[in-house]
């Protein structure tokens, strides 16, 4: 599936040639030609050319599951940092609790970590998140690992194959937010291996056959421990 020759790194301002190509995300057109707007990897599909970013902040999209930390409290809402340019409010009405006005601190405090979903993003890029979906909740204990949002698909793998693999070996609870924050909880030794595995993916994100490589990596890690 992956065609290596198309994995070309482009630089902002670089022309993206191709007959009849239309500008997709991460590009712009000027004088009838399409150029890259971002530093990233060139990708063509369905007549559109896009640039997949290699770095940068998370751009919220409706329906994304993200991991956020509470950075501020209001009388009727909490403010979450979701690694995007904007903090995202979580309104009391979007939480599973009956919150009295001014009583938000009883439920969530500054520093708490949540698995939340982007509820909406308006044209001014104002974001709101919700906890009122299945599987969304506060994450107790554990720790956060941060990767670039553009590497999240590789960390998750096809149909979650990569995280499942890591979970299986390390017996950790892992949640991967689309915003590049990853929450891991388990035995400290296992958490360490899981974190190492994620750093491995981050470093070799462009590589082909990463899941198989990861299998070998984890096997070796645990073999060594067993000895």
Partner 1 sequence: MEDIEHLEKGMKLIDEKGKRIDGRRPDELRPVSIEAGVLHRADGSAYVQWGNNKVLAAVYGPREAHPRHLQKPTRALVQCRYNMAPFSVTDRKRPGPDRRSTEISKVISEAFSSQIFLEQFPRTSVDVYMEVLQADAGTRCAAITAASVAIADAGIPMRDLVVGCASGKVSGVVVLDLNKEEDNYGEADVPMAVAPRTGQLVLLQMDGHLTATEFEKAMDYSIAAAHKIYELQKDALRRRYSVSLEELRAKEPNMPPEPEEAPKYDVYHDDEPGVVE
Binding site for partner 1 (CB under 8 A): 9, 11-14, 26, 28, 30, 35, 37-40, 53-57, 85-87, 124-125, 146, 150, 192, 195-197, 199-200, 202-207, 212-213, 216-217, 220-221
Element (H, E) at 223: helix 210-226
Q: Nearer to partner 1 by C-beta: 48 or 200?
A: 200
Coarse DSSP helix, strand, coil percentages of the chain, rounded to the nearest 5 percent:
30, 30, 40
Q: Nearer to partner 1 by C-beta: 73 or 136?
A: 73
Q: Nearer to partner 1 by C-beta: 99 or 165?
A: 165
| Residue 61 Cβ vs partner 1, minimum distance, rounded to whole Å | 14
Which distant-in-sequence residues (6+ apart) come within 8 Å of 90 by Cβ? 68, 77, 78, 79, 80, 114, 116, 128, 129, 130, 131
Burial of 127 (0-12, 13-18, 19+ CB in 10 A): buried
Q: Nearer to partner 1 by C-beta: 116 or 182?
A: 182
How far is the C-alpha of 155 from the C-alpha of 199, rounded, in Å? 9
| Residue 162 Cβ vs partner 1, minimum distance, rounded to whole Å | 14
| Residue 51 Cβ vs partner 1, minimum distance, rounded to whole Å | 9
Q: Nearer to partner 1 by C-beta: 61 or 220?
A: 220
User: Do residues 180 and 149 lie in contact, with contact meaning Cβ atoms separated by under 8 Å?
Assistant: yes
| Residue 187 Cβ vs partner 1, minimum distance, rounded to whole Å | 15
Name the residue among 89, 211, 194 with its Cα closest to residue 154.
211
| Residue 176 Cβ vs partner 1, minimum distance, rounded to whole Å | 16
How far is the C-alpha of 120 from the C-alpha of 96, rounded, in Å? 18
């Amino acid at each position: 599936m992956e065609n290596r020759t198309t994995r070309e790194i482009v630089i902002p301002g670089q022309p993206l040639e191709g007959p009849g190509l239309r500008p997709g995300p991460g590009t712009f057109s000027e004088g009838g030609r399409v150029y890259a707007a971002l530093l990233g990897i060139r990708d063509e599909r369905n007549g559109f050319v896009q640039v997949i970013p290699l770095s940068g902040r998370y751009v919220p999209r409706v329906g994304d599951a993200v991991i956020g930390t509470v950075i501020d409290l209001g009388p009727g809402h909490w403010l979450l940092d979701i690694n995007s340019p904007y903090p995202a409010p979580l309104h009391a009405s979007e939480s599973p609790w009956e919150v009295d006005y001014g009583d938000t601190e009883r439920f969530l405090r500054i520093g708490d970590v949540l698995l939340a979903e982007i509820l909406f993003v308006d044209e001014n890029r104002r974001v709101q998140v919700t906890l009122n979906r299945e599987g969304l909740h506060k994450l107790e204990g554990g720790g956060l690992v941060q990767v670039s949002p553009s590497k999240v698909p590789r960390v998750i793998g096809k149909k979650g194959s990569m995280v499942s693999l890591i979970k299986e070996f390390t017996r950790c609870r892992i949640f991967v937010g689309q915003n590049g924050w990853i929450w891991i909880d388990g035995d400290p030794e296992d958490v360490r291996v899981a974190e190492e595995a994620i750093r491995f993916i981050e470093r070799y994100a462009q590589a082909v056959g990463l899941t198989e490589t990861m299998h070998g990596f984890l096997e070796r890690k645990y073999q060594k421990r067993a000895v």
